[in-house]
Amino acid sequence: MTNPLMWKERIKADFHLGIVMLFSTITILVVVPFSIRRFLVDEPVAGTLGLLIMACIASGAAHAWRTGRTNGASNFIAAMYCVFCVGIVREVQPSGVLWVFPVLVANFLLVSRVRALLLSSVVIAGVLIGDDDLATAVDQLTFLATALMVSLFSFVFASRTEIQRARLQAAALRDPLTGAGNRRGLDAELDIAMAASTRSGEPLGFLVFDIDLFKRVNDSLGHEAGDQVLRAIAALVQARTRAQDRFYRLGGEEFGLLLPSTGPDALREVAEKLRQAVEREVQCGGIPVTISLGAAPFRPSETAAEWLSRADAAMYEAKRSGRNRTVMAATAPLRARADTGQR
């Protein structure tokens, strides 16, 4: 049996999956009694339509849960809502028209705004054509105005929700001090980059570097001076890397750089250019700041943890060898971190 806590965590982690499961659950809870009621009042077509649509939506939700592919499932569910709505309006009058408004809201929360506008237009047109109770022009205009108002409110709400969610997600994956990605951001992109490299055969490199003797900066000049050094190095790295490169602050004074389409020779060259630029351009209290770097080309046979461990070991080899240098992982022993004292 699946642990209920795992269900909750998965839904919390995947916003779109949560929306799909929420609407599917609400649909099942509402449509089942509706369909039973239709059979009891001798409206078998409406009852059967409700059960069929409910089965389709439940299957779409199950597919999304099993595979994690929510886009196709949400498009399918939204389309089924529209079919159900138009069909019920034709079969159950005059109350069938009331189903239109929750369907319009669901469209904008389930699918992209362009698709939602298209589906909502189909629903509104279907109701105007198929509902005999909207016989007069006044009735039709009243319904049209109400439906458009609900659609507009739903569009605005969905747009603002998406913008806010994107901002929160970006903030959760970014270090507020330097603007670099954080460790969570690295974890989110690492598997994707590794899979792409394995599939295409394109090389992939990772640099990890640490500011030398950073503790002395904080102890002698204060944490504000240390923060300025961190920001200066982050700005320097971001100015000297490509748009496709990904820069992360891994914690404290340690940073990582994920470099697509970068083989061993190019990886060493990038590392050396960064090392020289930091030594030349970043100072604190009139003293040049230096960094020690470990470089590791990706091997398709290794895991993310093994790859990062090789880069980490190379960086600590650079520390032990005198600092302010680059060590390639291929020439560094794979070992656990050792205490280097003044880093």
Which bin fits 175, alpha (ψ -120 to 50), beta or left (φ > 0)? beta
Nearest one of 297, 324, 327 to 313, comparing CA atoms = 327
Give dist(CA 47, CA 162) in Å, integer. 36
The answer, yes or no, to whether the previous bond of 94 is cis (omega within 30 of 0) is yes
Q: Return the number of other C-beta atoms located less than 10 Å from residue 172's C-beta.
A: 11
CA 254 to chain centre: 24
Q: Which residue type is seen at 121?
A: S
3-state secondary structure of 321: coil
Q: Which residue type is seen at 188?
A: A
Which bin fits 101, alpha (ψ -120 to 50), beta or left (φ > 0)? alpha
Phi/psi for 295 (5° steps) reads -120, 135
Nearest one of 169, 288, 158 to 233, comparing CA atoms = 288
Give dist(CA 27, CA 293) in Å, integer. 55
Whether residue 168 contacts residue 174, with contact meaning beta carbons closer than 8 Å, is answered with no
Q: What is the largest distance, in Å, between two alpha-carbon atoms of the chain? A: 89
Active-site residues: which are they?
253
